[in-house]
């Protein structure tokens, strides 16, 4: 560092106080305890800045320095430090430091004898020298006061060095080097006056120590013979004067030291227990109370400090001493807390219990809470003395407090946390024996679920033995208290809880079995009662009779034995439970259990008498069979009545009474449907009575079979009447002839089938012998055939007339292809106007005798259909072009596009096909109304065919010549052809680009002069091709 410039004071370096780092090979010699820097003492007449004073507060012990008579040791090594009880090299790692020195200690030399007398080995001696040299060289310049400006000015004034800058530069380096070396020696020797510093740094003695002040006579620069000059004050008086003037040793400091040692030197911020167990909350509360008490004591102390410092100037207040004393309280508390939670701490002081939490066993105070709370106590007392201050004559001083960020605090906290966690790990490990029993906490759930299943006696016995064995294991193996380092676990409550859970599981199991047995017994009694109630009922029907007989027989064979076995099983279970848990069962059994087993035993003794000897079913069977036969005969009479009504339908033949006949038929169908159900019931009763032969009820089958033709006949008559009314009186031009044709054909077929059926004797229940009549002779012998056959023949004739006459008229006039011109032709044929009108009916057409012109009308209708087909063909050809579009592909790398060969061929083929179809359509007679349209379409197709023919040739020429004219050599040979090709090429690219924007093929005809332009460009390229050969 260069000396400070004139008029400026060198800058000081601010430091923060911290404890030494954890032990290492070379721990720091100095730390941030110092609040001033080391510098030569210049006296109090002109003290200058605080950094120019010799500081005495590098370490915590500096506050305790006092002036005491001292003797100069004859030799620097004549002492035996207490910390040399074990070799220092073992603590530092065993490095051999003698290799760093060239000179070796000779045997029996004065130095060797002195080392042996001091009991210091050569290894320790070399290590001390090496460490002393290391710390001497590594004291930072920041701990040294800058070179004073006054000294700089004085040297410059005396040397006049401005004329020799290089010489002055070297001189300044020497001055600064000597100055720093001297200050470093003073610092290291001052620090090593404290035993703690020696232990921490591993320096056992100070080589070549500076003599203590006052131990040698002053000799002056050249030496003074005979002692100090006259007029000099004695050494004692100077020491007294310095004791009053020096900051660390002023009278105020001495007073404050005496005050502190008398009352406050033993203060601790923690109240550590000495044997009694307490809860975590009580421990934390005690520490908090202790911190408040100590803080109040220190506030009282600060009041006394104020009284001591009032006579002194603020510049002379020993603030560092006060801060050190307050910090010492924290330091001692930290040390006590470290020792209390150290590895040697064996006694427990925290009391925690165990509790059940769900399916787990947990501490009443969690390990995490213990750790956090104890560490928080440490943090709280470390900062509990923050912001201590005092005020003297409006001058307020805040003492320097300890913070959690300081290195030694953090190390202490880490050590405490480590020890706490280590002890808590033991706590957690101590809970392991309870893991084998914690399943008991939810054992009731398993037992309840187990009880829902069917249990065997072996299974129950195994469960009871297991639970009783677990209870015994808890009593014999689980301690009531587990005393560990730091924590005592109270286990009596959880042991009792586990035992009670096992007992509860036993109660649940036995209670569940008893409840199940009680239900079984109630079910057994109900079963006996149900049997008795069933057999005492008097059967009122054959079903009840048969069921009762079957029930009694089944009970005799199987039911009774099952109930008796169930009773024996219940008694066996009760006996088993008493064998397993006699005393417990006596407590669980109630009056209801004894009453239940008594009831079931009573039923067992009386059931056979009440069931097998108290009923007589033979008389009941005979009465029910007689009643059933009467019911069956009544049913047969009803069937005969239904059949007579069916035979009466053969006399019905009036078409005006269709609705009446259908209503009678529907009533008969409903009766037959109900008769089917009744017949099934009667057959079922016969089966239950055990009759081998069932009644066939042939009357029912014959009646239904005879009724079916009548239902079909009159349904056909009803439907034909409705349809004829719709066709004749409804809007004729809304009728679909095809649908009418289909319905009429079906009606004729059905009418003929029914006519033949009735002529063959159908439609009666019991047909008589007769000769089948000739259908052609029906008109002559109608009085000899049945009325239904006549009605069927009439329906056939109506349908035939509709099919043969009226249907042709519908086909002619109801053609959807008829246009206005056709209706004009029809009107001309009829001689009266006729148009499709919703008011015109088929009945009107018959009335006007339009059927007389049926052949002419049919010819006009057929022509209209043919013309419509031509129109559809023309529309189809046009529709093919609506969606037809070009497809393109890039031509090599020219950037131009061409038609794909496939699409171009498809378009040309389509044009050829449609030209051929158009020619064929024009040749038809039906095409006359569309002659003009077909001519225009043919002309358009021919034009498109010519365009695409030329277009294809142009594309072929362009693709073949483009390769030729893309080279540069051709420019000189064919300049005129080059110009022509460029013109055509430009047109081609423009044309294809437009087509890509409008790709529909039918849009081509909209391009102006397309055919002329294509033809012209094609001819130009063809000419070039011809010239090129």
Q: Of the spans 94-108, 257-271, 305-319, 880-894, which averages the highest pLDDT?
A: 257-271
Alpha-carbon distance 552 to 548, whole Å?
Answer: 6
Beta bridge partners of 1000: 885
What pLDDT, on a 0 to 100 scale, did the predictor assign at position 257?
84
Confidence of residue 693 (pLDDT cuts 50, 70, 90): low
Whole-angstrom Cα distance, residue 876 to residue 380? 101
CB 489 within 8 A of CB 481: yes
pTM: 0.40
Q: State the Cα–Cα distance between residues 716 and 729, nearest whole angstrom.
A: 20
Beta carbons of 613 and 749 less than 8 angstroms apart: no
Question: What is the rounded distance in angstroms from the CA atom of residue 337 to the CA atom of residue 416?
Answer: 8
Strand partners, 881: none
Average pLDDT over residues 125-132: 86
Do 845 and 730 meet the contact criterion of CB atoms below 8 Å apart? no
For residues 515-537, average pLDDT: 81
Write phi, then psi, for 700 (nearest 5 degrees).
-65, -45
Cα–Cα dist 242/232, whole Å: 15
CA 453 to chain CA centroid, Å, is 36
Locate the DSSP E strands across 484-590: 486-490
Q: In sequence order, which residues have a C-beta less than 8 Å from that of residue 655 and are 6 or more positions away?
A: 717, 721, 791, 794
Q: What is the pLDDT of residue 908?
A: 85
Q: What are the residue ranges of helices labelled H in 613-697?
A: 618-648, 658-689
Confidence check: pLDDT of 226 > 60: no
Percent of the chain with pLDDT over 70: 79
- Look at 575 and 796; give whichever has higher pLDDT: 796
pLDDT value, residue 237:
59
Rounded average pLDDT over 993-1002: 77
Tokens 């051999």 correspond to: 96
CA-to-CA distance for 147 and 139, rounded, in angstroms? 16
Q: Taking a C-beta distance cutoff of 8 angstroms, is the pair 791, 713 a contact?
A: yes
pLDDT value of position 777: 44
pLDDT band at 1029, cuts 50/70/90?
A: low
92 phi and psi, to 5 degrees? -95, -5
Most confident residue range from 340-344, 358-362, 813-817, 872-876: 358-362
What confidence tens digit (pLDDT) does each residue in 435-452 have?
888 888 888 888 888 888
Q: What is the mean pLDDT of the chain?
A: 76
Contact 378, 416 (CB under 8 A): yes
Dist. CA 510–CA 593, nearest whole Å? 13
Rounded CA separation 960/169 (Å): 97
**Tokens describing residue 619:** 């008389």
Residue 558 per-residue DSSP state: I
Model pLDDT, residue 47: 38
Helix axes 251-259 and 319-340, enclosed angle (nearest 10): 30
Buried residues in 925-952 as b, exposed as e (16+ CB within 10 A): ebbebbeeebeebbebbeebbebbebbb
pLDDT at residue 19, rounded to an integer: 37
Give dist(CA 926, CA 933) in Å, integer: 13
Q: Count the Cβ atoms, other than its own, within 10 Å of residue 1010.
A: 16
Question: For 12-38, how does the pLDDT look when each residue is reduced to its tens digit (9 = 90+)?
Answer: 333 333 333 334 567 766 654 443 444
Q: Are 379 and 284 in contact (CB under 8 A)?
A: no
pLDDT attached to residue 587: 66
How far is Cα 888 from Cα 632, in angstroms, rounded to an integer? 92
Pick from 180, 215, 208: nearest CA to 192:
208
Cα separation, 46 vs 28, whole angstroms: 34
At 228 the pLDDT is: 54
Closest Cα to residue 269, out of 318, 335, 212, 224? 335
CA dihedral 289, 291, 295, 297 (to 10 degrees): 70
C-alpha dihedral (786, 792, 795, 800), degrees to nearest 10: -120
- What residues have CB less than 8 Å from 201, skipping those under 6 apart? 27, 29, 131, 135, 192
Q: Judge whether 291 and 380 are in contact, CB under 8 Å.
A: yes
198, 192 contact by CB (below 8 A): yes
Cα→Cα distances 675→43, 82, 640, 685, Å:
144, 128, 12, 15
Q: In three state form, how does the secondary structure of 222-262 look? A: CCCCCCCCCCCCCHHHHHHHHHHHCCCCCHHHHHHHHHHHH
Rounded CA-CA distance 521/515 in Å is 10
Bridge partner residues of 731 (DSSP): 841
Span between the terminal Cα atoms of the chain, in Å: 103
20 contact partners, CB below 8 Å, separation of at least 6 = 27, 28, 31, 200, 407, 408
Q: What is the DSSP string of 100-152?
A: G-SS-PPTT-HHHHHHHHTT--HHHHHHHHHHHHHHHHH--GGGBPPPPHHHH
Checking if the pLDDT of 788 tops 60, the result is: yes
Segment 396-439, tens digit of pLDDT: 888 888 888 888 899 999 988 988 888 888 888 888 888 888 88
What number is the average pLDDT over the span 180-194? 83
Q: Is the pLDDT reported for residue 234 higher than 70?
A: no
Phi/psi of residue 463, each to 5°?
A: -65, -45
Question: For residue 25, which of 90, 85, 92, 89 has the smallest C-alpha distance?
Answer: 92
The 10s digit of each residue's pLDDT in 745-777 is 888 888 898 888 888 887 777 776 544 445 444
Residue 157 has pLDDT above 80, yes or no: no
Please indicate whether residue 485 or residue 812 has the higher confidence score (pLDDT): 485
- pLDDT category at 377 given cuts 50, 70, 90 is very high
How far apart CA 200 and CA 25 sit, in angstroms, is 10
CA distance to 125, 624, 727, 743, per residue, from 737 (Å): 137, 66, 10, 10
SS3 835: coil
- The DSSP bridge partners found for residue 899 are 888
- Express each pLDDT in 885-924 by its tens digit: 777 788 887 778 888 877 778 888 888 888 888 887 777 7
Burial of 134 (0-12, 13-18, 19+ CB in 10 A): middle
Of residues 110 and 65, the one with the higher pLDDT is 110
**How far, rounded to the nearest angstrom, does the alpha carbon of residue 71 sit from its chain's CA centroid?**
82
């Amino acid at each position: 560092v260069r000396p400070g410039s004139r008029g400026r004071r060198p800058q000081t370096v601010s430091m923060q106080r911290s404890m030494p780092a954890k032990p290492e090979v070379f721990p720091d010699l100095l730390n941030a305890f110092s609040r001033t820097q080391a510098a030569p003492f210049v006296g109090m007449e002109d003290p200058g800045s605080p950094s120019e004073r010799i500081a005495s507060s590098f370490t915590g012990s500096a506050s305790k320095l006092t002036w005491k008579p001292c003797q100069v040791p004859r030799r620097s090594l004549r002492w035996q430090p207490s910390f040399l009880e074990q070799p220092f090299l073992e603590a530092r790692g065993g490095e051999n430091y003698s290799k760093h020195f060239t000179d070796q200690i000779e045997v029996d030399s004065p130095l060797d004898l002195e080392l042996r007398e001091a009991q210091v080995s050569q290894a320790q001696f070399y290590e001390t020298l090496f460490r002393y040299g290391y710390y001497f060289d590594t004291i930072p310049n920041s701990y040294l006061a800058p070179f004073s400006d006054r000294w700089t000015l004085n040297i410059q004034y005396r040397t006049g060095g401005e004329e020799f800058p290089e010489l002055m530069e070297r001189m300044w380096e020497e001055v600064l080097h000597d100055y720093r070396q001297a200050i470093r020696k003073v610092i290291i020797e001052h620090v090593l006056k404290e035993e703690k510093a020696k232990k921490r740094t591993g320096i056992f003695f100070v080589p070549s120590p500076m003599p203590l002040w006052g131990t040698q006579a002053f000799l002056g620069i050249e030496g003074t013979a005979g002692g100090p000059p006259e007029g000099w004050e004695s050494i004692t008086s100077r020491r007294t004067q310095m004791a009053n003037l020096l900051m660390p040793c002023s009278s105020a400091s001495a007073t404050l030291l005496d005050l502190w040692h008398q009352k406050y030197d033993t203060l601790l911020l923690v109240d550590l227990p000495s044997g009694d167990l307490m809860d975590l909350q009580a421990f934390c509360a005690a520490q908090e109370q202790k911190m408040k008490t100590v803080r109040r004591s220190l506030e009282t102390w600060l009041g006394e400090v104020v009284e001591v410092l009032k006579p002194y100037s603020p510049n002379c207040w020993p603030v560092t001493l006060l801060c050190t004393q307050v910090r010492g309280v924290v330091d001692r508390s930290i040390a006590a807390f470290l020792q209390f939670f150290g590895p040697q701490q064996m006694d427990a002081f925290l009391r925690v219990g165990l509790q059940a939490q769900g399916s787990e066993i947990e501490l009443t105070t969690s390990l995490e809470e213990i750790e956090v709370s104890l560490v928080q106590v440490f943090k709280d007392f470390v900062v509990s003395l923050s912001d201590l201050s005092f005020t003297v004559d409006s001058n307020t001083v805040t003492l320097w407090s300890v913070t959690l960020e300081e290195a030694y605090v953090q190390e202490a906290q880490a050590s405490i946390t480590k020890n706490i966690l280590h002890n808590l790990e033991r706590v957690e490990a101590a809970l392991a024996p309870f893991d084998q029993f914690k399943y008991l906490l939810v054992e009731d759930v398993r037992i309840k679920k187990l009880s829902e299943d069917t249990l065997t006696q072996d299974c129950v016995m195994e469960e009871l033995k297991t639970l009783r064995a677990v209870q015994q294991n808890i009593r014999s193996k689980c301690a009531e208290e587990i005393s560990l380092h730091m924590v005592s676990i109270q286990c009596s409550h959880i042991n009792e809880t586990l035992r009670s859970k096992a007992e509860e599981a036993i109660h649940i199991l036995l209670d569940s079995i008893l409840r199940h047995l009680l239900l079984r017994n109630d079910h057994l009694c109900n079963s006996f009662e149900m049997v008795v109630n069933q057999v005492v009922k008097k059967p009122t029907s054959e079903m009840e009779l048969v069921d009762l007989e079957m029930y009694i027989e089944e009970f005799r064979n199987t039911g009774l034995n099952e109930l008796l076995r169930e009773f024996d099983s219940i008694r066996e279970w009760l006996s088993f439970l008493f064998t397993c848990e006699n005393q417990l069962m006596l407590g669980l059994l109630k009056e209801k259990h004894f009453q239940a087993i008594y009831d079931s035993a009573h039923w067992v003794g009386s059931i056979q008498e009440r069931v097998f000897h108290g009923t007589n079913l033979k008389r009941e069977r005979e009465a029910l069979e007689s009643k059933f036969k009467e019911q069956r005969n009544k049913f047969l009479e009803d069937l005969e009545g239904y059949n007579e009504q069916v035979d009466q339908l053969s006399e019905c033949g009036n078409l005006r009474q269709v609705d009446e006949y259908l209503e009678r038929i529907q009533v008969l169908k409903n009766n037959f449907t109900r008769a089917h159900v009744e017949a099934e019931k009667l057959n079922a009763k016969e089966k239950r009575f055990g009759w081998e032969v069932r009644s066939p009820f042939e009357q029912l089958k014959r009646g239904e079979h005879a009724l079916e033709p009548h239902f079909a006949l009159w349904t056909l008559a009803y439907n034909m009447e409705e349809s004829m009314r719709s066709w004749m009186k409804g809007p004729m031009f809304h009728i679909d002839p095809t649908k009418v044709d289909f319905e009429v054909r079906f009606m004729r077929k059905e009418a003929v089938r029914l006519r033949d059926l009735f002529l063959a004797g159908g439609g009666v229940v019991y047909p008589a012998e007769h000769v089948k009549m000739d259908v052609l002779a029906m008109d002559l012998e109608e009085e000899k055939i049945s009325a239904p056959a006549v009605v069927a023949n009439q329906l056939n004739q109506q349908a035939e007339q509709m099919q043969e006459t009226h249907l042709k008229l519908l086909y002619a006039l109801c053609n959807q292809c008829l246009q206005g011109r056709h209706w004009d032709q029809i009107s001309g044929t009829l001689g009266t106007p006729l148009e499709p009108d919703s008011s015109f009916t088929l009945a009107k057409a018959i009335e006007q005798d339009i059927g007389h012109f049926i052949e002419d009308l049919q010819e006009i209708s057929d022509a209209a259909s043919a013309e419509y087909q031509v129109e559809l063909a023309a529309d189809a050809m046009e529709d093919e072009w609506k969606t037809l579009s070009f497809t393109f592909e890039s031509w090599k790398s020219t950037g131009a596009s061409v038609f794909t060969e496939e699409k171009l061929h498809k378009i040309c083929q389509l044009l050829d096909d449609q030209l051929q179809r158009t020619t064929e359509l024009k040749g038809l007679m039906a095409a006359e109304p569309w002659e003009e349209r077909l001519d225009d379409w043919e002309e358009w197709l021919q034009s498109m065919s010519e365009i695409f023919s030329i277009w294809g040739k142009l594309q072929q020429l362009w693709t073949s010549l483009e390769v030729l004219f893309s080279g540069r050599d051709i420019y000189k040979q064919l300049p005129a052809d080059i110009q022509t090709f460029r013109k055509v090429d430009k047109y081609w690219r423009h044309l294809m680009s437009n087509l890509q924007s409008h790709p529909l093929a039918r849009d081509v005809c909209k391009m102006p002069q397309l055919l002329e332009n294509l033809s012209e460009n094609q001819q130009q390229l063809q000419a070039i091709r011809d010239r090129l050969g």
